[in-house]
Amino acid sequence: MKPSTPLRQRMLGEFAITLPSMIWLCIYFVLPTLIIFAIAFRSKGAYGGIGDTWTLNTLAELRNPDYPAIIWRTIWMSVICTLATLAISVPVAYHIARVSQWKRDILLLLTIIPFWTNLLIRIFAWRLVLHPQGMLRNLLISLHLIDPSTVFLGNPIAVLVVMIYTELPFAILPIYAAAEKFDFTLFEAAMDLGAGRLYAFFHVFLPGIREGLMSACLMIFIPLIGSYVIPDLVGGKDSQMIGNVIVRLALEQRNLPAAAAMSTVMFLIMSLPLLYYLKYTTAQHAKEVAK
């Protein structure tokens, strides 16, 4: 008698189902990533290509005095943008989860509709909004709300605003999914036991949608680390991020090994939260199995 047979069959079945996507990921994700890792250790070709010897010199090339500041800026801008996006998304998702079904559908639709417009077009729209001769700036100046010397475009604030705007749906949707499953009786229970609304929000609601918050964090933090279009189009010299450096290395300086090395650095920064998430979810899973 093999009591483990059903389990083994099930695992085999799961494996079979996962196989095609695994192959896909290997060909189009794992393999290219490894190639980029490898290129980082190749020498530079004379005319912008990849040389045919192995070298560690590329790493030395990364010792550009500007880079630490750019890497640091990439991290803090991504972190601030992630936090700000979450701070906006949580109340929005909470609201969507609490309204009636038809209002909910409308609000979700409004969240998703901007997706249907190309990212570049939306960014150019923001350029118009933030433009020195744009309506927003003129309006605020005429209302004496801002100093006429204020510039909107070409600084980190502009980059942050547009990044938050682009990432909002990616945060609202997973948080909404978690909030929708949240049992709002718990809210009443907290109030019943003497909690105020704010206390209940922070001590009952937020822990209740923790999974949604985690996945929202990942969904937005990782693309943010790699963003280059937004800093390129609405940012200035002082708002360059790693993505812009990589583009410059690869396309302007034609230094593919250096670009690959920079990409590796970015990959390592990104994998930190991923590793944490992986550790967190496996710990959760282990706990559930232990039950």
Partner 1 sequence: MEEFLKFDGVTKQFGHLKAVDDVTLTINRGEIFSILGPSGCGKTTLLRMLAGFEAPDTGRILLAGEDITDQAPNVRKINTVFQTYALFPHMTVRENIAFGLKLRKLPKATIDQEVDKMLAMIQMEAHADKKPAQLSGGQKQRSAIARALVLKPSVLLLDEPLAALDLKLRQRMSLELSLIHDEVGITFVYVTHDQNEAMSISDHIAVMQNGKIEQVGTPAEIYEAPKSSFVAAFIGDTNFFDGTITCVLDSEYCEVEVPDLSKKLICFNDKKLVQGDSVHLSIRPEKFSISLDRPAENPRQNVLPAKVEDIVYQGDHTRYWVSIAEDWRVAVTRQHNRFLLDQRRITWGDQVFISWQADDSFMLEQYREKDEDLLQMPPQNVGEEVPGAAVTAPEPSDTSVAPADGQATGQEEASQQ
User: For residue 178, how many C-alpha atoms fall within 13 Å in the half-sphere facing its CB?
Assistant: 20
C-alpha 250/C-alpha 257 separation (Å) is 8
Residue placing its CB nearer to partner 1 in the complex, 56 or 198: 198
Residue placing its CB nearer to partner 1 in the complex, 77 or 209: 209
Footprint of partner 1 on residues 124-183 (CB under 8 A)? Answer: 183
CB contact at 8 A, 5 and 12: no
C-alpha 228/C-alpha 240 separation (Å) is 8
- The token duo for 16 is 């079979």
The answer to whether residue 199 forms part of the interface with partner 1 (CB under 8 A) is yes
Residues in contact with partner 1, total (CB under 8 A)? Answer: 18
Q: Binding residue for partner 1 (CB under 8 A) from 46, 149, 196, 198?
A: 196
Residue 179: CB minimum distance to partner 1, A: 14
Residue placing its CB nearer to partner 1 in the complex, 147 or 288: 288
Residue placing its CB nearer to partner 1 in the complex, 10 or 197: 197
Q: Binding residue for partner 1 (CB under 8 A) from 118, 185, 237, 289?
A: 185
C-alpha 189/C-alpha 195 separation (Å) is 9
User: For residue 269, how many C-alpha atoms fall within 13 Å in the half-sphere facing its CB?
Assistant: 23
> Of the ranges 12-20, 38-46, 190-198, 221-229, which one interacts with partner 1 (CB under 8 A)?
190-198
Q: Binding residue for partner 1 (CB under 8 A) from 97, 161, 175, 190?
A: 190
Residue placing its CB nearer to partner 1 in the complex, 6 or 196: 196
Residue placing its CB nearer to partner 1 in the complex, 123 or 195: 195
Residue 277's CB: how many other CB atoms inside 10 A? 15
C-alpha 182/C-alpha 185 separation (Å) is 9
Residue placing its CB nearer to partner 1 in the complex, 205 or 221: 205
Residue 138: CB minimum distance to partner 1, A: 47
E strand or H helix at 54 = strand 50-54
Q: Binding residue for partner 1 (CB under 8 A) from 14, 105, 188, 238?
A: 188
The structure tokens 């079979």 sit at: 16
Phi, psi of 281, rounded to the nearest 5 degrees: -70, -35
Sign of CA dihedral 113, 117, 120, 126: negative
E strand or H helix at 179 = helix 156-181
Q: Binding residue for partner 1 (CB under 8 A) from 194, 237, 252, 286?
A: 194
Q: Binding residue for partner 1 (CB under 8 A) from 189, 251, 272, 275?
A: 189
Angle at 32 between CA 29 and CA 34, to 5 degrees: 105
Ordered DSSP codes for 131-159: STTSHHHHHHHHTTSS-TT---SSSHHHH
Residue 86: CB minimum distance to partner 1, A: 18
The answer to whether residue 208 forms part of the interface with partner 1 (CB under 8 A) is yes
Q: Binding residue for partner 1 (CB under 8 A) from 8, 10, 103, 210?
A: 210
Q: Kindly list the residues in this chain that would bind partner 1 in the complex (CB under 8 A).
A: 183, 185-186, 188-196, 199, 204, 207-208, 210, 291
